[in-house]
């Protein structure tokens, strides 16, 4: 289980490492800010393509074949970044990286629970949650350190990650299969997005804030690191890494802390803190204070951890067992579209209207979306008490 957790975390360490590395690539190859935003966002395309098709494949053919395939794809992604000589390579590597993560996430999450001892199943779930968000955060921080301390950061990062992924692949090959094969593998490849009637009210109430917190995550990963230099005029790989680290690291801790809190209360707190975090980010950008922006990102990370965890807890149990894969797919669809598309739009707008107005407008949209969810949650709460 420990080896599987480390291997799973390595997938997201690689995804997080690109947060400061994209800024490094931009300085090295001098491409447009819009291409930087695109290079960040195409990860969501690969992820969604994989999770909507092979996301439930491991339930039918077993965890090991899916994990081995996903890890081989991840190694190909790492090698693409090692060989990269221009932004086209980076975009291709990000798509491949997204496919690997999308294919592996459901299978690894299930395998971690199944590998855990009977009295430690919750530990498997925790390792899956922390591996994802914690990996993104620490990947960004460690890559920032590598950029700051070595002239060959790209090589150092992806050689180490490739070695770890190869060792993880060997471990998966040697590990026992944890799932029983069942028929229906080909049918499982057909994308299924479900909005069962029992879930629609909760889904509609949660979707705007889910989009808002994932947009704020996109800002932290796709826009904030480049702003360290372009807006705050600080040339530091470490600060680029910190800008990408603080939100996912905070959300990882808070997501665990709020797992036992009443879901409706956690959702409300998540909405309030996401609004406060967005306002903090806008204030930092307009005031020219990196410290204030990072504090805003940390508060937004609290909102992400609370609101997204609560959304899953409020929506998922309302679906029948045969509908749950489609409901999860619907939640991921909202999440990753919000992670990718707005960042690309903001990148395109940063040229004509300027980076500060583009980021300010982007963040203001998240405030509006959060308020929409707040109104919907209050209505649901009143209906429950009526």
pLDDT tens for 172-215 read: 888 888 777 878 888 878 887 878 888 899 999 999 999 999 99
Same structural domain, 1 and 102: yes
Is residue 46's pLDDT more than 90?
Answer: yes
N-term to C-term CA, the chain: 47
Q: Is residue 23 part of a domain?
A: yes
In a domain, 54, yes or no: yes
**291 Cβ neighbours under 8 A, 6+ residues apart:** 284
pLDDT score, position 195: 83
Residues 139 and 202 in one domain: no
- Asked whether residue 165 is assigned to any structural domain, the reply reads yes
> Quick one: 227 and 150 in the same domain?
no
* Within a domain: 188: no
Residue 119 has pLDDT above 90, yes or no: no
Based on the domain organization, do 107 and 211 belong to the same domain?
Answer: no
Average pLDDT score, the chain: 89
Distance CA 140, CA 127 (A): 19
What is the pLDDT, as a whole number, of residue 4? 84
Domain that holds residue 368: 195-385
Q: What is the 3-state secondary structure (H, E, C) of 82-136?
A: HHCCCHHHHHHHHHHHHHHHHHHHHHHHHHHHHHCCHHHHHHHHHHHHHHHHHHH
pLDDT tens figures, 234-248: 989 999 999 999 999
What's the rounded mean pLDDT across residues 150-158? Answer: 93
Band (381; pLDDT cuts 50, 70, 90): confident
The CATH number for 318's domain is: 1.20.1250.20
Same domain assignment for residues 300 and 381: yes
CB atoms within 10 A of CB 377: 22
User: How much is the pLDDT for 322?
Assistant: 66
Is the residue at 6 inside a domain?
yes
Which are the contacts of 283, defined by CB distance < 8 A and separation ≥ 6?
A: 289, 292, 293, 296
User: Has residue 66 got a pLDDT over 70?
Assistant: yes
- In the predicted model, what is the mean pLDDT of residues 139-160? 94
The answer, yes or no, to whether residue 111 has pLDDT greater than 90, is no
Q: Of all residues in the chain, what percent carry a pLDDT higher than 90?
A: 56
Q: How many domains does the chain have?
A: 2
Question: Does 289 reside within a domain?
Answer: yes
CA dist 164 → 17, 107, 155 (Å): 14, 19, 14
Closest C-alpha to 313, from 266, 381, 383, 359 = 266
Q: Is residue 185 part of a domain?
A: no
Percentage of the chain beyond pLDDT 70 is: 96
Q: Does residue 189 sit within a domain?
A: no
d(CA 117, CA 171): 18
**What is the sign of the dihedral through the CA atoms of 195, 200, 204 and 205?**
negative
109-112: Cβ within 8 A, 24+ apart: 109/8, 110/58, 110/59, 110/63, 110/178, 110/179, 111/4, 111/58, 111/63, 111/67, 111/178, 111/179, 112/1, 112/4, 112/5, 112/8
Domain identity same for 169 and 232: no
pLDDT digits (tens, 9 = 90+) for 345-354: 998 998 889 8
Tell me, yes or no, whether 334 and 281 share the same domain: yes
Q: What is the pLDDT of residue 263?
A: 86
Asked which of 177, 206, 222 is the last residue of a domain, the reply is 177
Same domain, 269 and 347: yes
Shared-domain flag, residues 15 and 147: yes
Span 330-357, average pLDDT: 91
Per-residue pLDDT tens digits for 353-373:
989 999 999 999 999 999 999
Q: Report the C-alpha dihedral over residues 243, 244, 250, 255, rounded to 10 degrees.
A: 160
Q: pLDDT confidence of 60, banded at 50, 70, 90?
A: confident
Ramachandran area for residue 190 (φ above 0: left; ψ -120 to 50: alpha; else beta): beta
pLDDT for 92:
96
Question: Quick check: pTM over 0.85?
Answer: yes
């Amino acid at each position: 289980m420990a080896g599987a957790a480390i291997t799973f975390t390595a997938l997201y360490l690689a995804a997080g490492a690109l947060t400061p590395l994209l800024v490094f690539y931009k300085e090295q190859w001098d491409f447009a800010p819009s291409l930087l935003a695109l290079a960040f966002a195409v990860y969501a395309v690969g992820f969604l393509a994989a999770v909507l098709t092979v996301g439930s494949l491991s339930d039918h053919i077993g965890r090991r074949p899916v994990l081995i395939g996903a890890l081989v794809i991840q190694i190909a992604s790492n090698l693409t970044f090692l060989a990269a000589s221009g932004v086209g390579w980076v975009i291709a590597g990000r798509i491949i990286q997204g496919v690997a993560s999308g294919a592996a996430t459901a299978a690894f999450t299930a395998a971690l629970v199944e590998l855990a001892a009977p009295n430690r199943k919750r530990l498997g779930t925790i390792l899956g949650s922390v591996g994802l968000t914690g990996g993104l955060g620490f990947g960004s921080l460690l890559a920032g350190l590598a950029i700051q301390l070595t002239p060959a950061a790209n090589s150092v990062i992806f050689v180490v990650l490739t070695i770890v992924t190869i060792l993880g692949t060997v471990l998966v090959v040697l590990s026992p299969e944890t799932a029983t094969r069942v028929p229906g593998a080909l049918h499982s490849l057909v994308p299924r997005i479900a909005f069962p009637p029992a879930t629609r009210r909760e889904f509609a109430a949660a979707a705007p804030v889910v989009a808002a917190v994932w947009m704020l995550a996109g800002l932290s990963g796709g826009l904030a690191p480049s702003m360290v230099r372009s807006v705050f005029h600080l040339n530091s790989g470490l600060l680029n890494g910190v800008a990408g680290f603080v939100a996912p690291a905070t959300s990882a801790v808070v997501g665990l802390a709020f797992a036992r809190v009443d879901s409706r209360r956690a959702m409300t707190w998540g909405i309030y803190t996401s609004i406060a975090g967005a306002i903090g980010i806008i204030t930092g950008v307009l005031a020219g204070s990196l410290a204030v922006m990072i504090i805003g990102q940390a508060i937004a990370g609290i909102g992400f951890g609370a609101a997204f965890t609560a959304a899953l807890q409020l929506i998922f149990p309302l679906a029948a067992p045969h509908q749950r894969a489609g409901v999860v797919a619907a939640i991921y669809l909202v999440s990753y579209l919000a992670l990718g598309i707005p960042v690309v739009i903001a990148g395109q707008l940063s040229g004509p209207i300027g980076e500060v107005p583009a980021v300010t407008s982007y963040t203001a949209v998240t405030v509006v979306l959060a308020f929409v969810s707040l109104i919907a949650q209050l209505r649901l709460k009143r209906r429950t008490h009526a």
